[in-house]
Amino acid sequence: MKLTVSTSSFIFAFLVALSGGLVFSFLSIPVPWLLGPMSAILIADRFKGLTLSWPRALRDTALILIGYSIGLSFTRSSVENIIENLPAMLILTMILVASAALMSKVISKLSGVDYPTVLTGSIPGGLSQMIILPKK
């Protein structure tokens, strides 16, 4: 059976991601099946110059499943706690975003990487958004 470039690069990406998850799991690193594959793919893609691909439909399906599983953890009690702590959460969020913006400005100047990219990667949760953004 002859594999096309996209099929073989998908299989290779899957094997790299799987090995990252296994290594992180073996090392007892927190969230091994999220951080391990992300780290392994990043290293393989950036430092080895390999061609890796992942079908968009599979990525989108995984994001839906992750969102659904996070949503399942919300109970009436957790929503009540959120409402009760909302003022403090909003203030701390503003402080966090302002700190990330300031830190990103400095890092952007020192590294030469454009500010929007550094800002997106510096804000908590921004890394996951950068990972799902398509490459230009």
**Which DSSP string do the residues of 76-87 spell out, in sequence order?**
HHHHHHHHHTHH
Helices then strands, counting H and E runs in the chain, come out as 7, 0
Mean pLDDT of 73-97: 92
Percent above pLDDT 70 for the chain: 86
Residue 62 token pair: 């995984």
C-alpha 117 chain-centroid distance = 14
pLDDT bin (cut points 50, 70, 90) of residue 33 is confident
Residues composing the chain:
136
| pLDDT of 1 higher than 50 | no
Inter-residue contact 24 to 32 (CB < 8 Å): yes
Question: Can you tell me which residue has the tokens 């999220």?
Answer: 34
User: What mean pLDDT value characterizes the chain?
Assistant: 83
Q: Which of 48, 60, 59 is nearest to 14 (CA)?
A: 59
pTM here? 0.55
| pLDDT of 19 higher than 60 | yes
